[in-house]
């Protein structure tokens, strides 16, 4: 695994340096190891296929192969179980491009805008704007990333709302602002954000502050989330040659 880890690590530094900077080298290596194991569960073991699989984990969320927001990914993997791994990966990459480009933009511009928008409101604004009802949560998702909201459709949005409420109950994020912040992160980073090795800060933050007053937990979680998202945005601009 050591050699393959180094192969994938070089690829990630080339394609997603901002993730590597924020994660730090040890946690990037740990995330890659998780990616290699997840790729192997689908019998992807060739260097190129593993690199591609880990790249998709970064782009779509580490559990993209079972994420209810992305049913087409799991369906493709199940449908191509009998195909060669190269054919399966080529098809998966083609499906990802077809499904995601209208949502995130040809160069990711729509997604970048959504990330920036997610980091804008302060805690008091979230608390004043969204009451935690399903209607208010849907309104938040529409405001955050209209294209993705439309692409998901009613059934998948309802499933995500239910999953977010179950996850926030487990973590003690029981006030409306806490649910809003957690749901927004699920929407942007993947449904299983609390077990995503590329976003370990989510689980670490919730575990560290677990058991405190729910409103204070939500406030601290919001501060950590907006700080991370703003760092991603700044690094992304710098690495694409934009302004600081």
- Please tell me the distance from the alpha carbon of residue 223 to that of residue 210, in angstroms, as a whole number: 15
Confidence of residue 3 (pLDDT cuts 50, 70, 90): very high
In the chain, the N- to C-terminal Cα span, in Å, equals 37
Per-residue pLDDT reduced to its tens digit, 212-226: 999 999 999 999 999
Taking the C-alpha atoms of residue 108 and residue 106, their distance in angstroms, rounded to an integer, is 6
Q: Give the integer Cα–Cα distance in Å for 197 and 214.
A: 25
**Alpha-carbon gap, residue 98 to 216, rounded angstroms:** 41
Distance from C-alpha of 109 to C-alpha of 106, rounded to nearest angstrom = 7
Q: In whole numbers, what is the pLDDT of the chain averaged over residues?
A: 94
- pLDDT given for residue 244 in this prediction: 43
Question: What's the pLDDT score for residue 242?
Answer: 56
Residue with tokens 């991603």: 232
CA 243 → CA 78, 117, 185, 214, distances in Å?
A: 44, 18, 26, 38
Cα 114 to Cα 103, 140, 165, 178, 241, distances in angstroms: 11, 11, 22, 19, 20
Kindly give, in sequence order, each residue whose CB lies less than 8 Å from that of residue 102, ignoring residues fewer than 6 positions away: 147, 151
Evaluate if residue 243 carries a pLDDT over 50: no
CA atoms within 13 A on the CB side of 130: 27
Higher pLDDT, 2 or 227: 227
**pLDDT tens figures, 47-91:** 999 999 999 999 999 999 999 999 999 999 999 999 999 999 999
Q: For the chain, what percent of residues have pLDDT higher than 90?
A: 91
Q: What is the pLDDT of residues 150-185, one digit of tens each?
A: 999 999 999 999 999 999 999 999 999 999 999 999
> 112-143, pLDDT tens digit by residue?
999 999 999 999 999 999 999 999 999 999 99
**Main-chain phi, psi angles of 74, to 5 degrees:** -65, -40
In this structure, what token pair is assigned to residue 214? 């729910």
């Amino acid at each position: 695994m050591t050699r393959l880890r180094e192969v994938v690590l070089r690829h990630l530094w080339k394609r997603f340096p901002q993730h590597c900077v924020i994660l730090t080298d040890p946690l990037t290596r740990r995330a890659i190891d998780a990616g290699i194991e997840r790729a192997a569960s689908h019998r992807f073991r060739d260097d190129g296929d593993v690199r591609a699989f880990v790249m998709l984990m970064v782009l779509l969320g580490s559990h993209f192969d079972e994420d209810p927001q992305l049913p087409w990914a799991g369906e493709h993997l199940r449908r191509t179980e009998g195909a060669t791994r190269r054919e399966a990966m080529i098809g998966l990459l083609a499906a990802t491009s077809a499904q995601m480009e209208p949502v995130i933009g040809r160069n990711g511009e729509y997604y970048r805008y959504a990330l920036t928008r997610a980091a804008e409101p302060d805690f008091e604004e979230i608390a004043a704007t969204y009451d935690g009802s399903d209607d208010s949560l849907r309104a938040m998702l529409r405001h955050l990333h209209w294209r993705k909201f439309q692409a998901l459709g009613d059934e998948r949005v309802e499933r995500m709302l239910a999953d977010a409420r179950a996850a926030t109950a487990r973590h003690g994020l029981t006030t409306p602002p806490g649910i809003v912040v957690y749901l927004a992160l699920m929407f942007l980073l993947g449904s299983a954000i609390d077990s995503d090795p590329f976003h370990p800060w989510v689980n670490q933050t919730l575990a560290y502050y677990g058991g405190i007053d729910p409103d204070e937990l939500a406030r601290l979680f919001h501060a950590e989330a907006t700080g991370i998202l703003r760092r991603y945005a700044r690094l992304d601009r710098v690495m694409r040659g934009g302004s600081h």
